Structure 1
Amino acid sequence: MKLLVINPNISDDVTALIESEASRSASAGTELVVRTAGHGVEYIETRFESLIAAGAVAEIIAEYTQVPGLIDGVVVAAFGDPGMPALKELADVPIIGITEAALCAAALQGHRFSIIAISDRIRPWYLDCVERFGLGGRLASIRSINESLNGIGSVQQDFKETLLALSRQAVAEDGADVVILAGAPLAGLARELRGQIGVPVVDGIAAGIRMAEAVVALDSGPHRAGAFAPPPAKDRRGLTKALDAALTTAQNAARSGSLQPVTPVPAN
């Protein structure tokens, strides 16, 4: 199995954290291709920054999904799942966000869960994500660091005790049965805090890798109809060659029912 793992922000330090935890979490025989967004912001905190990141993620997916068999699945490795669920319309392979994976993992292990985030500003966007998945009634709380960050790559080292305290408060004061450590900058921290909080601790990257492996293994087939069918063919201009070709391939496959690549139609 070969998974494409995409960091939707431009921080190479965060990509290193993602790759490290993804490698520890992946099953034997799973090959990982880890990529960093080609444009965007250092780390994503708002809906608008997520919008920017979504385009960068789509470009990378387009590079790898035009040829069947090149990859088997995609993991969008930023909490908040930039571009999701729209990205599911682009390719025949499963595309899994670490938010949806973490929420599913938490829901399987407890009734109420809390999310621990790296900033106060990020909380409204995370709440939107939880509600979009229909799990707002099971959210115990979103607790977050309310101090300035020294650097996105050092959040774990700088705020480990704060993150531990927030996790314990979520359990003791908010009634959380499960704690989710949200965001790629916290990748791997759940391994260190496991057993210190009193409830299961979910790492988004680990959940994303494992859920992607499971969905790929289910071999359920691609979307050809319904809400996640490829976008209909229409005039377009200004897209990159890779993205335009990926759209053309998806649209022609949907029309024919074929998974074979087709010759892209040049953009206007």
Structure 2
Amino acid sequence: MKLLIVNPNISQSVTELIEAEARRTASPGTELTLRTAALGVAYIETRAEAAIGAYATLNELADHFSGHDAAVVAAFGDPGLEAAREMLPIPVVGLTESALMSAAMLGGKIGIVAISRRIRAWYAEPVVRYGMTSRLAVIRCLDEPLANIGSVQQDKGEQLVALCEAAIRDDGADVLIIAGAPLAGLARSVAQRIPVPVVDGVSCAVQQAELLSHLGPAKATAGSYAAPPAKGAKGLSPALGQLIGRGDVQ
């Protein structure tokens, strides 16, 4: 089993957090390839940043998917996920969808804990897209500037635990998602302190990617997830052009 994991942000420190949790979670014998976006921002908070992250992610997937059995878009909000499913012949999963679907099997109302207030709208939109609005209890967020995205777990760990406790006490959350790649692994480290199940997007996505690969689903040849139709293209990398423009790239 070979999994390709793409961090849609430019922060190598976050990629290292993703890799550490992915390696703890992956099945024995699973090989991981980690890639960091070549362009974009340190961490995604807005729709504009997400659009840039999606493009960077599609570039990385196009360049490196060959030889892999499945891929993971490793940012909460899943930038580029549905486009990647159209484009690639292998299963592709994202942190948000994987965490939501896993959380839904562990409890009724789902609480999401995130790293910034501005990120709330971007996180709420995929909840709607995945049809999980009725299951959402709350999105609680840190409300302070982040000095270093790679050390947010150490810098804000107690505040994040307090947000988890408030989501249970005040909002009725039955299960929690500690959201975002910069928080990869935090759910594991605080699980004994939280009185409801806590899930992590990276660990959920890795195991679901393995599951989908084992199931061996066929690539769609009809419907909205069939490969994009052939057409002229300009300014794309050769690999992305082969998948999007079918090779007719200027």
Identity over aligned pairs, percent: 51
Whole-angstrom CA distance in 1 between matches of 2:121 and 2:248: 40
Conserved 8 A contact 2:138-2:167: yes
What's the C-alpha RMSD, in Å, of the aligned pairs? 1.0
Where does residue 128 of structure 1 map in the other structure? 125
2:240 maps to 1:243: yes
Where does residue 87 of structure 1 map in the other structure? 84
Whole-angstrom CA distance in 2 between matches of 1:104 and 1:206: 13
Conserved 8 A contact 2:231-2:248: no
Output the amino acid matched with 2:29: G
Q: Aligned-pair distance for 1:84? A: 2.1
Where does residue 261 of structure 1 map in the other structure? none
Whole-angstrom CA distance in 2 between matches of 1:112 and 1:215: 26
Whole-angstrom CA distance in 2 between matches of 1:177 and 1:7: 29
Q: Aligned-pair distance for 1:224? A: 1.1
SS at match of 2:112: strand
Whole-angstrom CA distance in 2 between matches of 1:167 and 1:113: 11
Bigger Cα displacement from structure 2, 227-236 vs 181-190: 227-236
User: Unpaired segments of 5 or more residues in structure 1?
Assistant: 250-264
Q: Deviations over 1:118-145 (max 9, x none)?
A: 0000001111110000000100000000
Residue number among 65, 72, 75 corresponding to 2:72 in the alignment: 75
Q: Aligned-pair distance for 1:64? A: 2.3
Q: Aligned-pair distance for 1:231? A: 1.1
User: Unpaired segments of 5 or more residues in structure 2?
Assistant: none
TM-score by length of 1: 0.91
Whole-angstrom CA distance in 2 between matches of 1:3 and 1:192: 24
SS at match of 2:105: helix
Whole-angstrom CA distance in 1 between matches of 2:7 and 2:93: 13
Where does residue 158 of structure 1 map in the other structure? 155
SS at match of 1:141: strand
Residue number among 212, 219, 222 corresponding to 1:222 in the alignment: 219
Q: Aligned-pair distance for 1:234? A: 1.5
2:229 maps to 1:267: no
Q: Deviations over 1:21-51 (max 9, x none)?
A: 0000000011000010010001110111000
2:23 maps to 1:23: yes
Residue number among 94, 97, 109 corresponding to 1:112 in the alignment: 109
Whole-angstrom CA distance in 2 between matches of 1:248 and 1:13: 34
Whole-angstrom CA distance in 1 between matches of 2:81 and 2:17: 22
Where does residue 49 of structure 2 map in the other structure? 49
Output the amino acid matched with 2:81: M
Conserved 8 A contact 2:233-2:245: no
TM-score by length of 2: 0.98
Q: Deviations over 1:62-96 (max 9, x none)?
A: 1123x4xx000000000000112121101110010
Output the amino acid matched with 1:168: E
2:200 maps to 1:203: yes
The count of corresponding residues between Structure 1 and Structure 2 is 250
Where does residue 184 of structure 2 map in the other structure? 187
SS at match of 2:78: coil
Whole-angstrom CA distance in 2 between matches of 1:110 and 1:104: 11
Where does residue 252 of structure 1 map in the other structure? none
Q: Aligned-pair distance for 1:248? A: 5.2
Output the amino acid matched with 1:267: V
SS at match of 1:155: helix
Output the amino acid matched with 2:51: L
Residue number among 79, 85, 95 corresponding to 1:98 in the alignment: 95
Whole-angstrom CA distance in 2 between matches of 1:63 and 1:236: 17
